[in-house]
Amino acid sequence: MATFLASLLLGCQTTAPISLWQPPQLASVSGESIVLMEIAGPQKTAEGLRQELLQITRPNEGQSSSATGSSTSVTFLLPDQLPDESTIRLVSAVENEPSDLAIAAAARRSGLRYLMRGEIMHATGNPRSEERLSVVWKLVGLDADCPTEGMPISVNQQQISLAYPDLMAISEPHVRLQKAMVRKTLGLLNQSVIRKTVTLAEPRYALGSKAVREGNVFAQHGNWPAAEEIWVQALESHPGQVGAWINASIAAAARQDFPEAKQRITRAIQLSAFSPVNRTLAKETLVWLELQQRDYHEAFGLPDPPGGWRVTHRDETMATQND
């Protein structure tokens, strides 16, 4: 009974999708050309990924950032598109098959810095199966200042429906998986916009609760500016409305105003001293906000904020990014 009464007084929580800026997960190679090497694994899936990567990164194809999930794009080249093709063939280890060393040398002569190869670890696409596609990508640096890095990526149909809902209009499951994989792959190399789910406060009977819930509806439909406007208006009338402070802090982060976001969430923590449910959510939101801010500062080489990082450390950040 006590728990029920607390939920009535303090409210509950709900979720909403949010689009967030994300820095490159591997090397920042936006605007560069990369030689696309072998994609090992099932031939049909590998060829589909190869063609999709070549097409979506080809210049002047009218691809927009909303279509690729990436704000800029690299260009992938096949080895036989490099200059000095005859030289590559002459030093082939196997007849008509260019060697990696020859390709690397030709790429360097063309001013390129990276090769990229992939290995398909799991590939499904049957509507009656658990549909999933997993690929390990390796970005091979050709110069001393270009490190070689790798990262596994996995996508399934549930993730696609959340992160790339437009792809759900594609009837063929394996095509959806390939297109989603390409978008996530480009996110390794470019700044990108990713779609995640955040937790919002949804108060019930405290003053201003109705307005907070109205703002939540806008956020759940992706209209964060309208949601923020409603929450800020609620705070003007009811400055003690903790849920509005929590949700407004997330809205500020959605437009990358992290100082404002952290001021708002700090106020929420102060006001939630006697509200365990809201206090827990407010503290979790503060950690989430600071992790987003860290990514932003590090990607653009910005100094630490005044007062430094309050609640996170480098090992926490890396662990969260790898989840």
**Residue 26: which pLDDT band, with cuts at 50, 70 and 90?**
confident
CB atoms within 10 A of CB 62: 5
Rg of the chain in Å (alpha carbons):
24
Which of 44-48, 218-222, 306-310 comes out lowest in average pLDDT?
Answer: 306-310
Which residues, including other chains, have CB under 8 Å from residue 278's CB and lie 6 or more apart?
A: 10, 11, 201, 242, 243, 246, 268, 271, 272
Alpha carbon of residue 198 to chain centroid:
13
pLDDT average, residue stretch 75-87: 77
The helix or strand, by DSSP H or E, that contains position 158, with its residue range, turns out to be helix 157-163
pLDDT average, residue stretch 74-85: 82
Q: Look at the block and give the residue holding tokens 């260009």.
A: 75
Are 140 and 126 within 8 A, CB to CB? Answer: no
Q: Tell which wins on pLDDT, 86 or 120.
A: 120
pLDDT average, residue stretch 90-118: 76
pLDDT average, residue stretch 252-263: 93
pLDDT average, residue stretch 24-28: 73
**Residue 163: which pLDDT band, with cuts at 50, 70 and 90?**
confident
**Residue 51: which pLDDT band, with cuts at 50, 70 and 90?**
very high
Which of 16-25, 27-36, 150-159, 204-213 comes out lowest in average pLDDT?
Answer: 16-25
> Any idea what the Cα angle at residue 42 is, between residues 46 and 114, rounded to 5°?
35
Task: Tell me the per-residue pLDDT of 234-257, one tens digit each, with 9 for 90 and over.
Answer: 999 999 999 999 999 999 999 889
What is the pLDDT, as a whole number, of residue 95? 47
Residue 158 reports pLDDT greater than 90: no
What is the pLDDT, as a whole number, of residue 85? 53
Q: Which two tokens stand for residue 30?
A: 């936006």
Q: Which two tokens stand for residue 207?
A: 């003053």
Burial 303-321 (b: 16+ CB within 10 A, else e): eeeeeebeebeeeebeeee
pTM above the 0.75 mark?
no
What is the pLDDT, as a whole number, of residue 25? 73
Which of 66-80, 191-205, 261-275 comes out lowest in average pLDDT?
Answer: 66-80
Domains and CATH numbers, the chain: 2-21+195-321 (1.25.40.10), 33-190 (3.40.50)
> What percent of the chain lies above the pLDDT cut of 70?
80
> What percent of the chain lies above the pLDDT cut of 90?
41
pLDDT average, residue stretch 277-290: 94
**Separation CA 184–CA 156 (nearest Å):** 12
**Residue 316: which pLDDT band, with cuts at 50, 70 and 90?**
very low
Q: Is 302 exposed, middle or buried (0-12, 13-18, 19+ CB in 10 A)?
A: exposed
Residue 130 reports pLDDT greater than 70: no
Instruction: Tell me the torsion sign for CA atoms 308, 310, 316, 318.
Output: negative
**Separation CA 257–CA 23 (nearest Å):** 16
Pairing label, strands 114-123, 192-202:
unpaired
C-alpha separations of 86 from 90, 98, 109, 110, 142 in Å: 6, 10, 14, 15, 21
DSSP E strands in the chain: the ranges are: 12-22, 33-40, 75-77, 114-123, 132-141, 149-156, 192-202
What is the pLDDT, as a whole number, of residue 233? 97
Residue 286 reports pLDDT greater than 70: yes
